[in-house]
Structure formats: C-alpha cells, structure tokens
Structure 1
Amino acid sequence: MMIETNSYKDDDLLELLKKIWNGKLIILFVVLFMMLCSLIYIKSSHQKWVSTRVVTTIEQTKINEIRYDIIDNSDYFYNNLMFDNYLLPATFLNLYINEFNDEKNKTTFNNQHQIKLNNIDTLAVKKISNISYLLTNSSSSKQKNITILNDYDKYINKVSREKWIANLKGMIKNNIIDLSYNLKAEKVIEKTKIKLAIKNTENALKIANIEGVSSPIPDIDSTNVIYPISLGSKILSKKLAILKALDKDKPNNIAIDKSTYKLDELKNIKLDNITLPSYFEFINSNNIESHVEGPKKTLIIVLFVFIGLILGSAIVLIKSKYEKYHD
C-alpha cells in the first residue's frame, strides 16, 4: 500500500516537472523580462558612494608654534593651567568634532556651497578612539564626496579657529570679572579689619585714660588682648592716629597687591592681537578612501531572476491547468 502511495507521489512530481519543462520557453521569457527589469532598476537607482577620512590629534610641536605667539601678549599666560588646557591636542580635536557635528554649520555650509546636499548626502562622525574619529560622507558621486569632505574640512577649521579664539577671549574676560570681584572683596575685608582695630583702640584709649595708664605697663603682653590698655594712652594715641591714616588711604596688603597686579595684566592684554594663523589646522587627517555601497547589482539581478523563475513556473502551471479544464 505504501509502495503504491509513493509511486503516485513520484508520478505527480514527474508530471509537474514535465509541465514546467514543456513551458520552458515561457519561463525563459519571464526570466529575461525580469532581468531586463532588474537592469532598468539598477540604471534608474542612484549609485551610492561612501567616502571616509580618519582624523587624529595634531602634534604638540604645531601647538607650541602658536603658544609662543599668544604668550608674547602678556605674562598672564605663563604657567596658567587654564590656558594650558586650551592648548592640549585633545582640546583642538574635540572642538573640531563638535563643530563638524553642529547642524548650524552644516546648514551654513550647504547654503554657501555650490554642491547642494540632498537626501542621500550625509556628513557623519564616528568615534574610533579617544584621539581619532572617522568622518564620512555618502552621495551618488565619488568626486562629490571628496569635494564635500575637503571643502567642509576647510570650513570647519575656519569655524574652529574663530570659536577657539572666542573661547579664549571669553576666558580672559571672565577672569577679569572674577578677579575684580575678588579684589573688591579683599579691599572690603581689609577696610573692615582697620575699622575694627580703630574701634578697639579707641575703647582701649578711653579705658587707659580712665585708669590713668599713660605709659606702657612692663611685663604684660597685650598682643592678643582686645583692649590693650597696657600699651598706655600715649602709644594708643599714636596707634589710633596711624590706623585712622590707613583708613583714609586705599586698603593695601600683599594679597591685594598681587591681585591688583594680575588684574592689570589681564586688562592690558590686547585681545585683538590674539589670533590663529589661517593655515593652522585643528586635526591631522589621512587621505580620503571611497567605495561603492549600493545598489548591489549582482544581488539585485539574482533576486529578479529568482522571482522570474517562480513567476514563470506559476504562469506555466496555471496555463496547463486552464487548458486541461477546457479540454
């Protein structure tokens, strides 16, 4: 019984294959038609080129060249930790990448550039390591990619130079504001100390006059006493005169002198002289590499041929069944 069943199945399979073989011309026609469709699709589709460039941090020697030019503007920049942080290779690279990714810069570049960006044109950044990034652009043209990456690199270097200088000038201006505030506070504190000393000395002088202590009392240390009457009224009077004279003058001490000198240094910096040369680049960059990413021609043709085989076989079987029904 099982042998008969298998025999029927084999007969059905042979019959099916025979029908498909008899309709081979139809199947071939459908396959050729689908191949033609695949070629038309490939021709009408935009070819997608992807171009990449690896950028890394610049050498410290290049930074030192501009460092000396900026330091010449003021002694303030010597041994200044905050300024040194502005001159780290990683600082320049991170600023460049941030500006590269900024949508406003892309829009401005797009408006100024003769080659307009469109839906299949993309500028992107991928982090490779702490000191390197992969810049990518994709479009329908290899040359277009190269042109855009090169021109955008020049544009971003220009924007980065302007941003770096603006940040440095902003740091100096903020330091001036902070130092001015701190200097004012130091002067207020010094004035308060003098006024407190005047008040204590006046009280001590009153007590000394009441007690009749005109000369210093020997063997008594009044250094840490609030009202040092042991100094005697004569010395207290001289001390009071000196304190009142100090109160009339501008407050002064070593800390105030240092802060005043530092503030004068900052104010004397000529901000317009702080520049970066136009040739200075924020990153090191490798040559641009390009490759085609799509459409995948071979895969598309194979897929269309496969669809043609299925579709052609279906047409042959339907045609055979239709003819058998009418017979």
Structure 2
Amino acid sequence: MSDIQAVNNSSSDEIDLVELVKTLWQGKVTIAVCTVVFTVCAIVYALTAQQWWTSKAVITAGQYQNTANIRSQVTNLYAVIDDSSKINNVLDSETLLHDYVTEFNAFDNKKAFIENNEIMKQYADKAEITDKNKAQFITSWAKRISASQPDKKNQPDVYQLSFEATSSELAHDLLVAYSKDISDKVRDELIDALDAKISYSQQILQANKLALEASAKQQLANELIKTNYALDMAKSADVTKPLAEMNNNELFQIQLGTAALAEKSKVLDKIKDLSIFAPKLGIIHTKLELLSQIKLDHNITLQSVRYLQNTDYPISRDKPKRPLIAVLGFLLGIIFGVAIILLKSAFNKSAK
C-alpha cells in the first residue's frame, strides 16, 4: 500500500513540475517583457547615475633628511637645552606621521576644507546648500575623505589617503589640495611647538638670570660696605700702606692700607659686570643670545611624511558598477515576470 502511495506522490510531483513549466512557457512573453523593461531601466540608471571616483596616495614615516631644513634652524636650541631628546621627540618621524594622520582624519579640518576650498564651494552652489542642510552636506563629504591602514598587521606605519569626488580629475585635485592643507597645519603646529620650547627656555634662563643678578648685587653691596668700614678703620689706625703681618681672614681687611682700600671702594662702586660675583651669569647671557638668534621660518617646506605612492588619477570609477547593475536588473526582471505568471495562474485556479 505504501509503495502505491509513493508512486502516486511521485507522479503528482512530476505532473506539478510539468504544469509549472507549461505555465511559465505560456507566460514567456510577460517574462520577456518584464526582463527587457527591468534591464533597460537598470542600464539607463547605470548610465545616468552620479559617478564617483576615488583618488589615493600611500604614505609612511618620513626620513631624517625630510626635517633637516627645520633642524638647521634650531641648532642654537640644541646648544642651549641640556636634553636634546626634548627637541628630537617633536621632530621624530613617527610622531609627525601620527600627527599627520590624526589631522587628516579630524572632522574639523575636513569641515574647514569643505567650507573654504573653491572646488567644494562649486559643489555647494550646485547643491543649493542652505543653513538647514549645510551640516548634512559637510558630513556627507567628510565621509569621502579618509586616511586608513590597508595592512595594519604587517605594515602598521603605512597609510592610504583617499578622496572621493564626481570625476577622476576632481578627486585628484581635491586630494592634492587637502593633503597640502594638512601638511601646512602639521608644519605650523611643529613650529609652534618649537617656539614654545624656545620661549620656555628663555623664561627659565631669565628667571635664573634675575636670581643670580640679585645675589651678585647683594654680594657687591656687602663687599662695598665692608671695604668702606675697613677704610675708616685703616684711617683711624693710620695704616696707609699694606701690612704683611696681619691676618687676611679678618672681616675688615685694614691691612691693605688706606690707599688700597680707597681704590678698592672706587672700583667696587663702578662695577657693572655682575658676573665677577656670579660667573654663571656669563653662561646665561650666552645662552640667551643664542636663543635670540633663532628665527623660525613659518613658510618653510616641511615633508612631515614620505610618499610611497604619489596622489594618482583614478582610472576606474567606484560607483556606479554598471555591469553589476545591468545583471541585477536582468535577474530582477525575470523574477518579477515569473512572479506575475505564478500569481496569475494561482488566481485563475482559485476562481474556478
């Protein structure tokens, strides 16, 4: 009994499959029409949709010679600062690379570029940007600018810069312009950091100078007072010539005699060079002079990163994928046509 039932089920399945094929064959015109319509629509969309191209560049940490020109401008700072690592840390190639990538991905920098670049202003005018949709416009374009690591595991110091635009030329030009803006920003921040170190060193030296000058002035004043007291005592003792037998460790050295003490008093009263009492003042003056000679050029060319691949003109578009859209339109047309035939067939059966 079960064998007979299995045979009947098998026959029923074959009949249903044959009937399905017949139904689809009868509706082949509908399927063909749907396929053609969807395919044509997909092709038209693919040909008229907004194109997007991405220009790319590959960077890594710079080399020592990339910062040689700015290092030469702070040679005097190296001579003044005891710990040169404080300068080297600022000029370190890995640090500059990290700063460059951070600034490249910073939303505020992207926003400033989108608002001020002439090409981006043309995009804004074309899109008729108002105050209400300005934020959305900036956000959508900011997403098209990025610095990423294509192989973070094997090449952690290699980054890919990209800028997406509506044509190959614009993508290239925008990436070049934005990269220059970021390079200038990193350079300005580096020079500001060096300026801060120079200013800090000058402040420390000036503070030490004031302390040493105050101490030297006090020593000079004390020495002048002691000399005048000794002169008075020598006059009272009628010591006019130096005495060889007296103790030189006395507080008031009247053994010098009135003539010598009077001359010493005159010399002390005329002294302007306090380094006689504070020798370190001479070193501080030299260091301050070295720092005052440092003139940082804010327009200096600085290669904060090294390009492994220069900014290129993209040779293929990212969007739209025309062949893929056409294929999807073709498949969707077949599916839609088959669905119409099956629904129509099911409706006819239920009507009977």
Q: How does the TM-score come out when normalised to structure 1?
A: 0.70
Gaps of 5+ in 2: 124-136, 224-246, 255-267
2:328 equivalent to 1:306: no
> Which residue identity does 1:310 align to in structure 2?
I
Alpha-carbon contact 2:77-2:198 (below 8 Å) kept: no
Q: Which one of the candidate residues 250, 275, 279 is aligned to 1:235?
A: 250
For the residues of structure 2 that align with 1:124 and 1:149, how far apart are their CA atoms?
10
> Which residue identity does 1:24 align to in structure 2?
K
Residue of structure 2 in register with 1:139 after alignment: 165
Q: CA RMSD in A?
A: 3.9
Q: SS where residue 138 of structure 1 aligns?
A: strand
Shift in Å, 1:171: 1.4
Q: CA deviation digits over 1:160-216, x for unaligned, max 9? A: 333322221121112222333455566778999x8xxx9xxxxxxxxxxxxxxxxxx
2:182 equivalent to 1:156: yes
Equivalences for 1:11-50 in 2 at 5 Å? 11-50=15-54
2:311 equivalent to 1:288: yes
Q: How does the TM-score come out when normalised to structure 2?
A: 0.66
Q: How many percent identity over aligned positions?
A: 24
Shift in Å, 1:147: 0.5
Shift in Å, 1:138: 1.4
> Which residue identity does 2:79 align to in structure 1?
Y
For the residues of structure 1 that align with 2:347 and 2:88, how far apart are their CA atoms?
87
* Structure 2 CA distance for partners of 1:172 and 1:304, relative to 1, 3 Å: same
* Structure 2 CA distance for partners of 1:314 and 1:76, relative to 1, 3 Å: closer
Shift in Å, 1:257: 4.8
Shift in Å, 1:326: 5.0
Is 180-189 or 304-313 further displaced after alignment? 180-189
Shift in Å, 1:22: 1.1
Alpha-carbon contact 1:66-1:276 (below 8 Å) kept: no
For the residues of structure 2 that align with 1:169 and 1:19, how far apart are their CA atoms?
84
* Structure 2 CA distance for partners of 1:277 and 1:4, relative to 1, 3 Å: same
> Which residue identity does 2:56 align to in structure 1?
T
Gaps of 5+ in 1: 199-231, 240-244
> Which residue identity does 1:235 align to in structure 2?
E
Q: Which one of the candidate residues 118, 124, 133 is aligned to 2:146?
A: 124
Equivalences for 1:182-261 in 2 at 5 Å? 182-184=208-210, 235-236=250-251, 252-255=277-280, 257-261=282-286
Q: Which one of the candidate residues 269, 290, 305 is aligned to 2:293?
A: 269
For the residues of structure 2 that align with 1:79 and 1:57, how far apart are their CA atoms?
28
Task: Tell me the number of residue pairs that the alignment of Structure 1 and Structure 2 aligns.
Answer: 284
For the residues of structure 1 that align with 2:200 and 2:23, how far apart are their CA atoms?
88
Alpha-carbon contact 1:31-1:312 (below 8 Å) kept: yes
Alpha-carbon contact 2:147-2:162 (below 8 Å) kept: yes
* Structure 2 CA distance for partners of 1:188 and 1:103, relative to 1, 3 Å: farther
Q: SS where residue 293 of structure 1 aligns?
A: coil
Residue of structure 2 in register with 1:77 after alignment: 78
* Structure 2 CA distance for partners of 1:238 and 1:113, relative to 1, 3 Å: same
Alpha-carbon contact 2:59-2:161 (below 8 Å) kept: yes
For the residues of structure 2 that align with 1:313 and 1:164, how far apart are their CA atoms?
67
Shift in Å, 1:297: 2.7
Alpha-carbon contact 1:124-1:136 (below 8 Å) kept: yes
Alpha-carbon contact 2:67-2:303 (below 8 Å) kept: no
Residue of structure 1 in register with 2:115 after alignment: 111
Residue of structure 1 in register with 2:192 after alignment: 166
Q: CA deviation digits over 1:7-35, x for unaligned, max 9? A: 11211121112111111111111111111
